[in-house]
Amino acid sequence: MGLVGQFLEFIEQTPNQTLRSLSGRVLHKCRELTAAEAGSVFMLRGQGRSRQLEAVSVQNDVIRAKTASFTIPVDPSSIVGHVAATGETVLIDDAYAMGEDRPYRFNPGFDQRTGFRTRSIMAFALKGFRGKPVGVVQLINRRSADSAGPLPFLLDHEAMIAPVNHLVGRALERAATLERLKERNRALAQERRRVAEQQKETERAFMVSVNLLARAAEVHDEDTGNHILRVNEYAYALAKWAGCPRAFCDELRFSAALHDVGKMSVDQAVLHKRGRLDDREMAEMRRHPVYGHAILVTSDRLKMAAEIALSHHEQWGGGGYPNRLKGEEIPLSARIVAIADCYDALRSKRPYKPSFSHDKTVNILTLGDDRLDPAQHFDPRLIALFAERHMEFDRIWEELRDEDAVPEAMLA
C-alpha cells in the first residue's frame, strides 16, 4: 500500500473522528515514517493578530509528554510560527547550533523544564481546502538503530511527506470545523433549553434570557423602563387580531423587545440628548435600525427580531428609514411593531411633553396630527384593527406602566 493509501486508511476507516484522535494518529504515522522520537501537531485558531497555534497532539518517546493542550502565538520568529505564517518546510540539523541568518529562533524552554534534549527538527505546514496553512507538524530528533544520538532529517523525508500534507491538513481542518460546529450547537441547545425553562417564569425573566441569546442585549438601554415589555404585549395582541399563526405570535412576543437593540451602538451623547436633534445627530440616530440588524441577524433564532430591528421605522407610504420600503415590502412583524412602538412612545412622558392619554393617543394614531399621517405611516389593515380594539392597548399600558421618562431619541 502506498503512502497516500496508508494515510487514507486511518483517516477514512473511522468517520467523524475527534480532532485529538485523528491528530494523534497523524502524528504517530509521521513519526513512524521519519523515525522521530517526538513531535507535536498544532492547529491554527483565530484570525488576524489574535491567531494562535494550539497543540492538539504531543508525543514523546523519551519523556512523558503532557496531554493537556496549550497555545502559542503565531510569531514568525519562532519555528512553528514561521512555518504557519509562510507555509515553508523547515529542516534543522541542530537546534542549538542554528546560524544567525535564519529568520526564526529555537526556544529551549521545554528542554530546560523537562531535561529533554532537542537536536534535529523537521516542521512542515498542513494545508487546508484553500491551500493555506491550517496547522503545523513538528517532528524532533530522528533516530536510527545504527546511531547513538539523533540524526538530521533528510530532504527525502520532506519529499515523502509533501504528497500527503494537503490530505492530512484537510482531514484535520474538517475535524476541527466539525468540533467547533458541535460545540456551537451544544451551546445553542443549552441556551434554547434555558429559554424553554424561563418561558414559564415572568416576562422580565424571559426577556433576560432572550437578551442573553442576542449577544449584545446585555447592554440594552434600561432607560426605557417597561417600554420593551409593553411593546411585546401590544405586538402580540395586534398579531392575534390580524389572524397570524400561533408560532408567529409567540416569536413576535419576544422579538419585539429587541427592536431598539441597535441603540447600544449609537453615540450615547446623541441617544440621551435633551431637546431636538440636529441634522447630524438625527442621521446618527437613524442608523440604529442598521446597527440592530447587524447585531441580531447572525442568530438563526433571532431572524424575526433582526427584521423588526431593521424595518420598524419604515412607513407604509415609503417615507421611513433606513431603506424607504413601501407597503408590503415592509415585513409584517415590523409593521406590527411600528404601531406598538408609536403607541407606547405617545403614552410615555418625555422631557418636552407629558404622557398623553389613551384617547389622545388613539386619535393621533388613527386621525393624525402635525407630525403623523396614519395613512402614510401604518399598514391600513393593522391600524383599522387597532382602532376597533384599542382598549386592550390601554389595559396593557395600565398593567405595565412606569414613571420613567423615555429618552426623546425614542421618537427618532
Task: Provide the annotated active-site residues.
Answer: 263
| Distance from the Cα of residue 90 to its chain's centroid | 36
Strands 90-92 and 71-73: unpaired
Burial of 274 from C-beta contacts in 10 A (0-12 / 13-18 / 19+):
exposed
Give the closest residue to 355 by CA, choosing from 343, 347, 365, 363: 347
Strands 36-45 and 52-60: antiparallel
Q: Are 11 and 22 in contact (CB under 8 A)?
A: yes
Q: Are 314 and 341 in contact (CB under 8 A)?
A: no
Exposure letters 366-381 (e unless 16+ CB within 10 A, then b): eeeeeeeebeebbbee
For residue 382, give the DSSP letter: H
Q: Are 110 and 118 in contact (CB under 8 A)?
A: yes
Angle separating helix axes 358-367 and 380-389, nearest 10 degrees: 150
> Which 3 state secondary structure label does DSSP give 92?
strand
Residues, the chain = 412
Q: Which helix (H) or strand (E) holds 250?
A: helix 246-255
